[in-house]
Amino acid sequence: MEKMSLIIPCYNEEQSVTILYNEIDRVSRELPGYELEMLFVDDGSKDDTLKIVKSFAVRDPRVKYLSFSRNFGKEAAMYAGFCNASGSLVAVMDADMQDPPSLLPKMVKILESGQWDSVATRRVTRRGEPPVRSFFARMFYKVINKITDIEIVDGARDFRLMKRSMADAIVKMGEYNRFSKGIYGWVGFRTYWLPYKNVERAAGETKWNFWKLLLYSIDGIVSFSQMPLSVASFGGIALTVLSLLFVVFLVLRKLIFGDPVAGWASLACLITFIGGIQLFCMGIIGQYLAKTYLEVKGRPHYIIADTNDPDAKKVM
Ligand code: UDP
Ligand code: MG
């Protein structure tokens, strides 16, 4: 029998894990050909998430849990899942039912057709999301698709089902600054896009705020594009040319009209303008430097403090 691993990152999800577990249990009966493995990755929850997951594990041998020593973030949790999933099919899904397990049988069918290596989901509506967040999300996808070579689909979720070969490739992508949507695109493989309507959280609340999302989007851009660095260099060149032209203009004006000393205001404006641009460009370089710094240190992505899997890779 083939094995299917479900990776479920959980951070303070005590209100939704039970709903999710019951739903997966129900859906598993529609997948008789597969042996299920549920990998609950507890990302340092401060509530009773781990306790609840442990209670599933006591009565259900299909449940494995990996509990982090602190909150490492969703990306680290997904990576821990990939490193420890043993199925020939691997799926990632949120704990809050926004990635409906009921789609799994359909996704499995698509993979079984043999034409595809992975089934990705894409929500076609952003119902239930604050309009400001939707607006910035759309902008982000426009920008990142313009400046990177990989395609990142607007509305793409992290919810995916993939074959072993793709999961292995993702484990090999050991970068510290992880941006899964980019990683999925980078490794390639034949991907089927399954559209579905946005579902609201079953319970609890979102762990993301505007600031976290902004930082995450910078992560995404810096991880997959060198375009900002080019913009900084070309901006510098353009400004240099412009200032040379300005010098020529000033000299000519002096020769033709004499020099009525004026223009303190314009000078002050120019200085602050150029100072601003310089700082901005240094900021861009700083972003890349900071990411490089973290990569070079080679710190582990996650540390597992508690698990029921004796073979778990505890520090990766
Ligand atoms: N999550 C996590 N670590 C974190 C933040 C979130 O493992 O630091 C998990 C969370 O428990 C959920 C998934 O990531 O299963 C998506 O989080 P959330 O629903 O808050 O994000 P949204 O759906 O609002 O984008
Ligand atoms: Mg959610």
Q: 61-113 pLDDT, tens per residue? A: 999 999 999 999 999 999 999 999 999 999 999 999 889 999 999 999 999 99
CB 165 within 8 A of CB 191: no
Q: Is the model's pLDDT at 9 over the cut of 90?
A: yes
Q: How far apart are CA 15 and CA 206, in angstroms?
A: 12
pLDDT category, 282, cuts 50, 70, 90? confident
Q: 237 C-alpha vs ligand 1 centroid, how far in Å?
A: 43
Residues 109-138 have pLDDT tens digits of: 999 999 999 999 988 877 777 888 888 888
Mutate-to-test residue for ligand 1 from 39, 96, 97, highest number of ligand atoms within 8 A of CB: 96
The CB density around residue 88, as the number of other CB atoms within 10 Å, is 15
Tell which atom from ligand 1 comes closest to the C-alpha of 10. 11
Tell which atom from ligand 1 comes closest to the C-alpha of 11. 11
Lining ligand 1 with CB less than 6 A are: 9-11, 13, 43, 71, 73-74, 77, 94-96, 98, 206-208
Mean pLDDT taken over the chain: 89
Q: Can you give the length of the chain in residues?
A: 316
Q: 201 C-alpha vs ligand 2 centroid, how far in Å?
A: 6
What pLDDT is stored for residue 260 in this prediction?
Answer: 65
Report helix, strand and coil shares of the chain as percent, to nearest 5. Answer: 50, 15, 30
Strand partners, 42: 10, 67
CATH topology of domain 2-206+300-307: Spore Coat Polysaccharide Biosynthesis Protein SpsA; Chain A (3.90.550)
- Give me the amino acid identity at 138: R
Q: 94 C-alpha vs ligand 2 centroid, how far in Å?
A: 6
Q: Is the model's pLDDT at 195 over the cut of 70?
A: yes
Residues 150-184 have pLDDT tens digits of: 888 888 888 999 999 999 999 999 999 999 889 99
Q: What number is the average pLDDT over the span 249-272?
A: 78
Domain ranges of the chain: 2-206+300-307, 227-297
Residues with CB under 5 A from ligand 2 (ion): 94, 96, 98
Q: What number is the average pLDDT over the span 246-267?
A: 79
Name residues whose C-beta falls within 8 Å of residue 154's C-beta, 6 or more positions apart in sequence: 122, 137, 138, 141, 142
